[in-house]
Amino acid sequence: MKDRYLPFRRFWATEAGLTGVLVFLIFFIVASFVLDKFHLAKIFSLLFLSLFFLSAALSVSQHPQGRLVFGGLAIAALGFIWIDYFFPALGLTTGRILAGMLAIGYLIVLLLRHVFSKGAVTYHRICGAIAVYLLVAFIWSDIYILTLVFDPGAFTLPPEMLSGSFEGLQARLFYFSVVTLTTLGYGDIVPVSAGAQLAAMLEALIGQLYPAIMLAWLVSMEIVSRSQRD
């Protein structure tokens, strides 16, 4: 019976787990946008989010203590998300956002430790680095939502965003976060308050510095790894 699940355990215990994390993250992003207008279909988006957290917990299995801490944070975040989805009257939106930010922030640290661990630079490590880049966009989208909670006039938003669901607002602010991170700046959503503008500037700086530093670091790791093999 144990041998039956051996390939599954081997996949998540190796660097291939980093690719699995990125795949489930992309599925969640696509589901959040495509399924936003279908209330029952939104459950599939939450299921993909749950699978993403599960895959992330499995992929950091080489760090037992980190997996334990992240598992607790992920369970707390998913608990807030599912309860707030089915019982919005409880007003758990702020707790949902904060719990998600803690879980994702800690996951970023674990993934970076995995990506920059000793060894050759592989395709899976590059996928892990891409996953971190997308998770930074998620962190900042939650920052923007918290900014709106405390200051409803922090952004100029299209009217349909203000009258839509929380999931729809979250998806659109994630779109704004990616646009800011990549410094595209379409102008459909504009930060107005000082706090929102500061957050947008910091994200734009990270969006420029992260790829440059990541590429330089990975290239140097590959050069060192090849020299050691030779």
Q: Which domain holds residue 31?
A: 3-229
Q: What are 168-224's pLDDT values in tens digits?
A: 788 889 999 999 999 888 888 999 999 999 999 999 999 999 999 988 888 888 787
- Tokens (6 digits) for 4: 């039956």
Return the amino acid letter for 111: L
206: Cβ contacts below 8 Å, ≥ 6 apart: 136, 181
pLDDT of residue 5 exceeding 50: no
Q: What are 119-170's pLDDT values in tens digits?
A: 778 888 898 999 999 999 999 999 999 998 889 889 988 777 666 667 778 8
Q: How confident is the model at residue 41 (pLDDT cuts 50, 70, 90)?
A: low
C-beta atoms surrounding 37 within 10 Å: 11
Higher pLDDT, 115 or 192: 192
| Closest alpha carbon to 136 in 77, 92, 178, 75 | 178
What pLDDT sits at residue 37? Answer: 60
Average the pLDDT over each of 39-43, 112-116, 125-129, 175-179 and give the range with the smallest value: 39-43
Domain count for the chain, please give it. Answer: 1
Task: List the CATH number of the domain containing 61.
Answer: 1.10.287.70
What pLDDT sits at residue 1? Answer: 43
Give this prediction's pTM.
0.85
pLDDT of residue 40 exceeding 70: no
Cα angle 156, 29, 90; round to 5: 70
Average pLDDT, the chain: 82
- Give exposure, 148-185, as e/b (b: 16+ Cβ within 10 Å): beeeeebbebeeebeebeebbbbbbbbbbbbbbbeeee
What pLDDT sits at residue 12? Answer: 54
| Closest alpha carbon to 58 in 125, 98, 96, 11 | 11
Task: Determine how β-strand 190-191 pairs with β-strand 155-156.
Answer: antiparallel
Average pLDDT (96-108) is 91
- Tokens (6 digits) for 13: 């215990």
186: Cβ contacts below 8 Å, ≥ 6 apart: 179
